[in-house]
Amino acid sequence: MTRPDLSKATAPVPADGRPVLEVDDLHVEFRTRSGVVHAVNGVSYSLTQGETLAILGESGSGKSVSAQAIMGILDSPPAVITGGGIWFEGTDLLTQPEEEQRKVRGPGISMIFQDALSSLNPVYSVGFQIGEMFRAHRGMSKKDARKRAIELMDRVRIPAAARRVDDFPHQFSGGMRQRVMIAMAIALDPRILIADEPTTALDVTVQAQVMDLLKDLQAETGMGLILITHDLGVVNEVADNVAVMYAGEIVERGTVDDVFTRPAHPYTDGLMSSVPQVEAKGGRLQPIVGQPPNLARIPSGCPFHPRCSRRRLGAEAAPGRECSTDVPPLRLVVPGREAACHYSEEVLGVRAQ
């Protein structure tokens, strides 16, 4: 199959390369009346300053839940973090009291939500909502906070910011509302920005403008960016590294170039094969068969095996690598690439190490 063009600029990374954020073996479940939903199951990754990490996967794979756990904004109950650590600049946020976690939100880690209209308060002007960041965290006066709100609206390229600062969210287009959300997220110059589906429901032109804005802001500030999306085209344009999630787990991890050109996990390969290709006129898409798993009843063994065309069952499987019973660990397959598949070497066409 023909892969998309992979040329892109690389975000600046500090010389020491030390992680600003480390997520270690994170587990999150939702305890409901109908049962326990295992939304995040042992997720680990790190992010350095200036790096863009894209987290890919279908709806319900645990992408947004893991981000909300980092931000400390999960509704509990029913959500419960049952294991793991979230380390920000050397401190495990999960061991900190709520007051200390609140101090990190905004100045340390900030987040852009996918639905700007529902995330913004309809009864307050956008200038008031942007300025609230400065009033709450910096103790600014209303006048000074309003001035900073105008400056931020200019910074995210909202036309006539001084005139529009007192407008309400419904008076802005979808793309402009997303820019307001970005202005709120970057107000306190965070070290890390989490963008959860930042271009959902926007047309292609506006999507490109929003992503260009995020890239420019990242180059300007050096912040780390976690991009949560299912849009492979966006990932290809802006990301340095990719983590692919399925059933609450990371099933493949590597650089964008490696993962997009030679997927090591059958699920990742299915995602790449389902992307429409301009040069393949009249051809059929190759969807991944079946449905994503019910996270209250995740299949035994490899969670992807019911949908996998490469699965090995019974006598055809190697000892200890039966796809329906033996859980594949996330392991190094080739240098710089990890995958949670018993037969990743076969997928890549390399000899097992």
pLDDT for residue 1: 33
pLDDT tens digits for range 115-142: 788 889 999 999 999 999 999 889 999 9
Structure tokens at 343: 């037969």
Instruction: Please list the residues that pair with 32 across neighbouring strands.
Output: 35
| DSSP of 254-306 | EEHHHHHHS-SSHHHHHHHHTS--TT-TTPPP-PPPS-PPPTTSPPSSSTTGG
243-256 pLDDT per residue, tens: 999 999 999 999 99
Helices (H), the chain: 63-71, 98-104, 116-119, 126-138, 142-155, 161-164, 174-186, 204-221, 232-238, 256-261, 266-273, 344-348
- Opening angle at CA 195, ends 52 and 246, nearest 5: 80
| Spatial separation of the C-alpha atoms in residues 208 and 123, rounded to whole Å | 30
Cβ-based neighbour number of residue 309 at 10 Å:
9
**Domains parsed from the chain with CATH numbers:** 19-239 (3.40.50.300), 251-348 (no CATH)
What does the pLDDT read at residue 8?
Answer: 34
What pLDDT score was predicted for residue 73?
93
352 Rama sector, left if φ>0, alpha if ψ -120 to 50, beta otherwise: beta
* Distance of alpha carbon 233 from alpha carbon 239, whole angstroms: 10
- pLDDT tens-digit readout, 196-236: 988 877 788 888 888 899 999 999 999 999 999 888 888 98
CA distances (Å), origin 154, targets 130, 143, 145, 149: 12, 17, 14, 9
Rounded Cα distance between 23 and 100, Å, is 18
Handedness of CA 235, 236, 239, 240 (dihedral sign): positive
Report the DSSP pairing between strands 249-255 and 19-32: unpaired
Residue 263, both tokens: 């997927």
pLDDT tens digits along 261-308? 999 999 999 998 877 666 656 667 778 888 999 999 999 999 999 999
Q: What is the three-class DSSP state of 67?
A: helix
User: Residue 353's pLDDT is what?
Assistant: 53
- At 65-76, the pLDDT tens digits run 999 999 999 998
Q: Which pLDDT tens digit goes with each residue over 145-182?
A: 999 999 999 999 999 999 999 999 999 998 999 999 99
Cα atoms found within 13 Å of the Cα of residue 131, Cβ hemisphere only? 19
Q: Which residue has the higher pLDDT, 103 or 323?
A: 323
Q: Say if CB 131 and CB 148 are below 8 A apart.
A: yes
